[in-house]
Chain A
């Protein structure tokens, strides 16, 4: 229950962090540590070098540029849940962040860490896919940007290379109505299943988490106004993602229905 030996490198800038990652093939990034440190305590993860990015100021920024909201990788869940800009521009993200873990976890855990950990039942990876965010990744060879749905590849698996660092997420800000809901056994647990439902004028979609190996976003032409018809459609969509466990897709339909109703309240 104690981590194996590692070397500690504190990075003050993204450049220092990338240098440390580039020169140490066995290095891992330490952000909030709320997923990595438990894995290290169990020795399921034994990095040779930990690159601590907690002192890098530029990774903590939240700013609106034009019609995009940029959120630094090191922004903590507690900040996501109460930042005025996020609350105003993407309230569904603030709402989802309030459902992550517990108070003490939210005070340390980061959006970048949650994305890189890529737990299929986590709130934020699915939020990024639902919001059609871009992931901006730094590397010694320069930055690259990819859509969130290309970043997540499967269970705990992403497109991030060993020497790369997630810098920030860029969320486009069209007029959007989106609701969030999840089912958990106890408050703070990972979701059994959860959904984001979008019912904007330009787009109707559902993004599931806890249902497949990664967040799954499905676009529909429009959400039927009738509840029976809508739920039949949701069930068909959920079964496309996961058809084995009846209890799961049954629950998924309920969760998505609640998310749909929450989206209606966004006006």
Chain B
């Protein structure tokens, strides 16, 4: 690759914190989160928008961070899996994933957690159909999905009891 690429200085708000980073326009949000900001919880699977491993929340809505350039995230609130994880311990949804064996290799888990969390925030009474529909955009090659759905439904029920 010839010559020096232009860099743009941008402000990114990630998990409530401002980050000043120098980026090339072609760097995806996923890569900048991982390599510039050091938040490696966002996983990169297919880099073509199919697998959902890189799902983050943009102003609370799930999006593919491999299909956005970091420069586009200026002025928006980005939430990664680190942002839904308490300082110590796990969130109720994460606890539920652990209790229900909803992960094996864990590669898809950050995307699953963010999609499921966004769903429960929006629809605290989501039924199994709604959970499955929301998770169609997140591929898991280990679990066969059943335990993931169980975990989300259990977290939902726990949220109701509180």
B62 touches A103 (CB 8 A): yes
Measured as residues with beta carbon below 8 angstroms from the partner, the interface class of chain A is 20 to 34
The reply to whether the CB of A192 lies closer than 8 angstroms to some CB of chain B is no
Q: With A7-B6, A107-B61 as known contacts, state yes or no: A188 contacts B137, CB within 8 Å.
A: yes
Query: What is the chain A residue whose CB lies nearest that of B74?
Result: A10
B72 touches A38 (CB 8 A): no
For A42, list chain B residues within 8 Å (CB): 48
Distance (Å) between the CB of B6 and the closest chain A CB? Answer: 7
Distance (Å) between the CB of A134 and the closest chain B CB? Answer: 29
B26 touches A3 (CB 8 A): yes
Q: Which of these binds chain A: B12-20, B63-71, B87-95, B98-106?
A: B63-71
Please pick, from B5, B6, B72, B115, the residue contacting A54 in the complex, using a CB distance under 8 A.
B72
Question: Considering the complex, which residues of chain B in the window 40-78 have a beta carbon less than 8 Å from any beta carbon of chain A?
Answer: 47-49, 52, 55, 58, 61-64, 66-69, 71-72
Question: Considering the complex, which residues of chain A in the window 39-62 have a beta carbon less than 8 Å from any beta carbon of chain B?
Answer: 40-42, 50, 52, 54
Query: Measured between alpha carbons, how far is A201 from B14 in the docked complex, in Å?
Result: 54
For B1, list chain A residues within 8 Å (CB): 5
Please pick, from A1, A5, A10, A78, the residue contacting B47 in the complex, using a CB distance under 8 A.
A1
Interface string of A73-103 (1 = CB under 8 A from B): 0000010000000000000000000000111
Query: Measured between alpha carbons, how far is A104 from B30 in the docked complex, in Å?
Result: 14
A108 touches B67 (CB 8 A): yes
Query: Measured between alpha carbons, how far is A10 from B74 in the docked complex, in Å?
Result: 11
Distance (Å) between the CB of A204 and the closest chain B CB? Answer: 33
Distance (Å) between the CB of B12 and the closest chain A CB? Answer: 15
Q: With A107-B62, A188-B136, A188-B137 as known contacts, state yes or no: A102 contacts B52, CB within 8 Å.
A: yes
A-B contact sample (15 more), CB < 8 A, given A10-B71, A40-B26, A104-B64: A2-B47, A4-B26, A8-B71, A33-B68, A34-B49, A37-B66, A41-B66, A42-B48, A52-B72, A78-B61, A102-B52, A102-B137, A103-B136, A105-B137, A108-B67
* Chain A to chain B contacts (Cβ below 8 Å), 6 pairs: A2-B28, A2-B47, A8-B71, A33-B67, A54-B72, A107-B62
